[in-house]
Amino acid sequence: MLIFRIFRKMSLFSLSFLLCFSLICEPCVQAWSKEGHTMTCKIAQDLLKPEAAHAVKMLLPDDVNGDLSALCVWPDQVRHWYKYRWTSSLHFIDTPDKACSFNYQRDCHDSHGVKDMCVVGAIQNFTNQLSHYRHGTSDRRHNMTEALLFLAHFMGDIHQPMHVGFTSDEGGNTIDLRWFRHKSNLHHVWDREIILTAAADYFGKDINRLQEQIQGNFTHGIWSDDVASWRDCADIFSCVKKYAAESINIACKWGYKDVESGETLSDEYFNSRYSIVMKRIAQGGVRLAMILNRVFGDHQMDSITAT
Ligand SMILES: [Zn+2]
């Protein structure tokens, strides 16, 4: 089972300090971009039922005024810090090259082979920690605010298809190429380039309008019939494994497909992948809300096994 680390309760001051400091010293980010995570968390927060919305507000530091999305990138900002270095393998899964499948026993481990140290294990672990919040049975070693921020972040990461990629190219990170005119790599194309190109081409670079479009698509648009199936989940752990399997399938069918190192990706790649990225952000948000509504609501968390 995932190794539990001893968290000391983090003061609001230290959280704020970490955020400010990390904004100054932007580390190399390897995750849905800030924009992707922010949209995922805003979509989720808009779908919270009153009990969950209240719990989230209680857990957030005062200075973000109840806005979960303001801290959704925090796990990326601290992952290289000594205290949080153990979390760096929790953002992704490396699967065997070309296998195009996810197998928990085979794939969920860190680079040293420590079991459960991947994004699926992390979501399971932090969901389990949060499930004790409502009953006041939290282990004092666990910091509930951090558990919330990690869960919200990792539900974004698991929906970024290239976060469940091949081992030898580190989920596309070592596949250098050009995105239109500038240098990039395949992982970053899916983290950020597609989102920024969509925002620039269709929404005057306004990410809020892009997010509204995504929300419109599932509230009354093209995905409105699909939302119930996205949210459908009898057992959280099984569902999270399914989300990882979806990602590696998309990575194979759309991410890696016909891409070679050194080439230039432009309109054709963008036009055929744009809606996939938007849908994954929507699914991440809808499913994060589903988990938070269960964890903090009346629904029994029987499906979450103790880790
Ligand atoms: Zn991440």
Neighbours of 17 (CB within 10 A): 12
Q: What's the pLDDT at 6?
A: 36
Q: Give me the tens of pLDDT residue by residue for the chain, a chain 307 residues long.
A: 444 443 333 333 344 444 444 443 333 445 678 999 999 999 999 999 999 999 999 999 999 999 999 999 999 999 999 999 999 999 999 999 999 999 999 999 999 999 999 999 999 999 999 999 988 777 777 799 999 999 999 999 999 999 999 999 999 999 999 999 999 999 999 999 999 999 999 999 999 999 999 999 999 999 999 999 999 999 999 999 999 999 999 999 999 999 999 999 999 999 999 999 999 999 999 999 999 999 999 755 544 544 3
Q: Can you read off the two tokens belonging to residue 255?
A: 């991410």
Tell me whether residue 20 is in a domain.
no
How many Å lie between the centroid of ligand 1 and the Cα of residue 155? 9
Which domain covers residue 252, as residue numbers? 30-296
How many Å lie between the centroid of ligand 1 and the Cα of residue 88? 8
Tell me whether residue 301 is in a domain.
no
How many Å lie between the centroid of ligand 1 and the Cα of residue 8? 22
Query: CA-CA distance, 38 to 72, in Å (whole number)?
Result: 6
Query: CA-CA distance, 107 to 97, in Å (whole number)?
Result: 11
How many Å lie between the centroid of ligand 1 and the Cα of residue 141? 23
Tell me whether residue 134 is in a domain.
yes
How many Å lie between the centroid of ligand 1 and the Cα of residue 227? 24
How many Å lie between the centroid of ligand 1 and the Cα of residue 161? 12
Tell me whether residue 109 is in a domain.
yes
Query: CB-based contacts of 87: which residues, under 8 Å, 6+ apart?
Result: 75, 78, 79, 122, 150
Give a three-class secondary structure readout of the chain.
CCCCCCCCCCCHHHHHHHHHHHHHCCCCCCCCCHHHHHHHHHHHHHCCCHHHHHHHHHHCCHHHCCCHHHHCCHHHHHCCCHHHHHHHHHHCEEECCCCCCCCHHHHCECCCCCECCCHHHHHHHHHHHHCCCCCCCCCCCCCHHHHHHHHHHHHHHCCCHHHEEECCCCCCCCCEEEECCEEEEHHHHHHHHHHHHHHHHHCCCCHHHHHHHHHHHHHCCCCCCCHHHHHCCCCHHHHHHHHHHHHHHHHHHHHCCCCCCCCEECHHHHHHHHHHHHHHHHHHHHHHHHHHHHHHCCCCCCCCCCC
Cα 25–chain centre separation: 22
How many Å lie between the centroid of ligand 1 and the Cα of residue 84? 13
Tell me whether residue 21 is in a domain.
no
Bridge partner residues of 94 (DSSP): 165
Neighbours of 75 (CB within 10 A): 25
* Beta strand 182-185 pairing with 176-179: antiparallel
Q: Do the beta carbons of residue 275 and residue 213 sit within 8 Å?
A: no
Cα 132–chain centre separation: 22
Tell me whether residue 172 is in a domain.
yes
Tell me whether residue 307 is in a domain.
no
Query: CA-CA distance, 259 to 250, in Å (whole number)?
Result: 14
How many Å lie between the centroid of ligand 1 and the Cα of residue 75? 7
Query: CA-CA distance, 300 to 75, in Å (whole number)?
Result: 28
- One-letter amino acid identity for 100? C
Q: Can you read off the two tokens belonging to residue 214?
A: 């995504």
Neighbours of 300 (CB within 10 A): 9
Q: Can you read off the two tokens belonging to residue 155?
A: 């539900």
Bridge partner residues of 185 (DSSP): 176
- Rounded (10°) angle between helices 207-219 and 194-202: 90
How many Å lie between the centroid of ligand 1 and the Cα of residue 103? 20
How many Å lie between the centroid of ligand 1 and the Cα of residue 154? 6
How many Å lie between the centroid of ligand 1 and the Cα of residue 53? 23
Tell me whether residue 12 is in a domain.
no
Instruction: Please report, for the domain that includes residue 87, its CATH number.
Output: 1.10.575.10
Number of domains in the chain: 1
Length of the chain: 307
How many Å lie between the centroid of ligand 1 and the Cα of residue 279? 18
How many Å lie between the centroid of ligand 1 and the Cα of residue 245? 17
